Structure formats: C-alpha cells, structure tokens
Amino acid sequence: MKKVLLTLFPLVTVLLMVQGYHQAIYVAPDDAMQGYVFRIIYYHVPSASVAFLFFFISLIGSVGFLAFRRSSPNRAQIADAWALAGAEVGVVFCTVVLTTGPLWGRRAWGIWWTWDARLTTTLVLWLIYVSYLLLRRFAAGPQMQTLAAVLGIFGALDVPIVYMSNRWWRTQHPAPVFGGDQDSGMKDPTMVHALLWNMLAWFCWGMLVLFLRYQVERRHQQYAAIEAREALEASA
C-alpha cells in the first residue's frame, strides 16, 4: 500500500504540474490591465503560500522539539527533522517568491522592488530562516538542535511584528504597493481556476520535497546517533 502511494504521488504531482502550466499559459486569458505578464502570478502566489505554510511547520517542529526533548527523545528528533525540513524547503520556495516577484513587478508596475509591508516581511522572513539554517550549520554539538529550536521560535515571533510595523510605516509614508489589486483583479473564473490548479500542483510538489528532506534528515540523525554511540564506546 505504502509503495503504491510512494510511486503514485510523484506521478500525480507531475501531472498536476503539467495541468497547472497548461492552465496558466494556454487557458487563462491575459489580464485586462497587466497583459501577458500577469501569468507570473500562477507560480508566484502558490510558492508564497507553500513557503509560509512550511515555515509554520518548522515552527511547530521547533516547539515540539523543545517540548519533547526530555520526555520523549525519539519524538523530539522527529520534531527537529520537521523543523529543519520545513525551514529549508520554505527557504527554497521563499527564494522563488523573491525572484519571481521582482520580475513581475518590473513589468507590471515599473519597479523591481518596494519596501511595503508584504515584500519587506517576505524578505525578512527569508533572512530569518537563512540565519536559522546558518546557525544549524555553524553550531556544533548536541545542543545545536536546542539552540536552533529557540531561534526558530524567536524568528516566527518576529514575523507578525515586522508586518505590522511596516504597515504603520507605510500609513505615515505611503509608497507603491505591490500587487495591491492582484486578488481583486481575479474576477475571471478561468483565472481563478488556473490559480487553484497551480496552488494544488505546487502544494503537492512542496509536500513531496518536504517529505524527501525529512527522510534524509531522519537518516542523518540515525547515522549521527550510531557515530556518537561508537565514539562513546571507543572512549570507554
């Protein structure tokens, strides 16, 4: 049963991707105001949704690790694997958002970037989780997971604050707003369908990659545990 799912899911994902691409490029019409370049939205918005979801998963993993690390070590390791996987794949999707966004913005609104609430928050989110990954790389020893979990919580706490403070900043000093009407512009049902297809496709792709990353990390944890035990026995 599990094997069937394991081979079927990637296949379904690829099919969804093809369907999503077809919808985005061939079925959906040009936008009334933005023209052809509006189609970037079908990759940009789903990537953003997946990124935020995965950062949230990473937060849950961090909290779970801190909660379980004394009472149930194995569960804590699982939580930590999710925390890392969520953060890393989230950064990948967030990178996509930060590169497709300016490409869209340049053609649609004439500017590559602006420091409005949404863009700034996305950039800061990216910075926070990249710093999280750097901590995991540079910190040594068994306490690394604990430290990373704490940083993960701090980072997640900061995100709503960044968003709100930037909103206040922009009510005082108005600046161009990116994609302010991208949602209101979706009056055509074909466009909504195209977006939904791509949402589903990118969600499935994301879950696939997330699951793979989680598995790689679990294997790495087990290998590290064996190494640690051998080192302990060798020194005894």
Partner 1 sequence: MDERNILDHQFVVAAYTVTWVIQLGYLAYLGLKWRSEKRNAERKSRPAR
Partner 2 sequence: MSSTLWTHLAKDLRIEWRSKDAINSMLFFALLVVVLFSISFDPRGAFAQQIAGGVLCVATMFASVSALNQAWAREIRHQVMDAQRMAPASGAELFLAKVLANFLFVSIVQVALAPVFLVMYNLRVAGQAWLLALVLPLGTWALVANGTFFAALAIRSRNRELLLPLILFPIFLPALLGMVQATTSILTGDSDPWLWIKMLTGYDIIFTTVSLLLFDVVFHAE
Residue 92 or 135 with smaller CB distance to partner 2: 135
Distance CA 146, CA 113 (A): 36
Structure tokens at 91: 């950064």
Q: How far apart, in whole angstroms, are the C-alpha atoms of residue 190 and residue 31?
A: 11
CA–CA distance, 79 with 65 (Å, rounded to integer) = 5
Cα(91)–Cα(88) distance, integer angstroms? 5
User: Rounded to an integer, what distance in angstroms lies between the CA atom of residue 126 and that of residue 55?
Assistant: 10
The CA distance from 152 to 20, in Å, is: 33
The item of partner 1, partner 2, none sharing an interface with residue 100, based on CB under 5 to 8 Å by kind, is: partner 1
Stretch that binds partner 2, among 81-89, 96-104, 154-162, 220-228 (CB under 8 A): 154-162
Of 47, 58, 120, 145, the one binding partner 1 (CB under 8 A) is 47
140 binds partner 2, rule: CB under 8 A: yes
Q: Which stretch, 73-81, 101-109, 122-130, 134-142, contacts partner 1 (CB under 8 A)?
A: 101-109
CA distance linking residue 167 with residue 142, whole number of Å: 40
Q: Which residue in this structure is represented by tokens 């512009």? A: 185
147 binds, among partner 2, partner 1, none (CB under 5 to 8 A by kind): partner 2
Strand partners, 35: 31
Near partner 2 by CB under 8 A: residue from 34, 77, 166, 198: 166
Q: Which does 44 bind (CB under 5 to 8 A by kind): partner 2, partner 1, none?
A: partner 1
> Can you tell me the distance from the alpha carbon of 217 to that of 152, in angstroms, rounded to the nearest whole number?
17
Distance between CA atoms of residues 234 and 167, nearest Å: 58
Query: Is position 36 an interface residue for partner 1 (rule: CB under 8 A)?
Result: yes
Orientation angle between helical segments 41-68 and 144-172, nearest 10 degrees = 130
Least Å distance between CB 165 and partner 1?
A: 29
Closer residue to partner 1 (CB): 61 or 90:
90
The residue count for the chain? 236
**Residue 134 interacts with partner 2 (CB under 8 A): yes or no:** yes
User: Judged by CB under 8 A, does residue 223 bind partner 1?
Assistant: yes
Stretch that binds partner 2, among 56-64, 83-91, 155-163, 211-219 (CB under 8 A): 155-163
Q: Which residues bind partner 2 (CB under 8 A)?
A: 66, 124, 127-128, 131-132, 134-135, 138-144, 146-147, 150-151, 153-155, 157-158, 161-162, 164-166, 168-169, 172
Q: Which residues bind partner 1 (CB under 8 A)?
A: 35-37, 39-40, 43-44, 47, 89, 92, 95-96, 99-100, 103-104, 106-107, 205, 209, 212-213, 215-216, 219-220, 222-223, 226-227
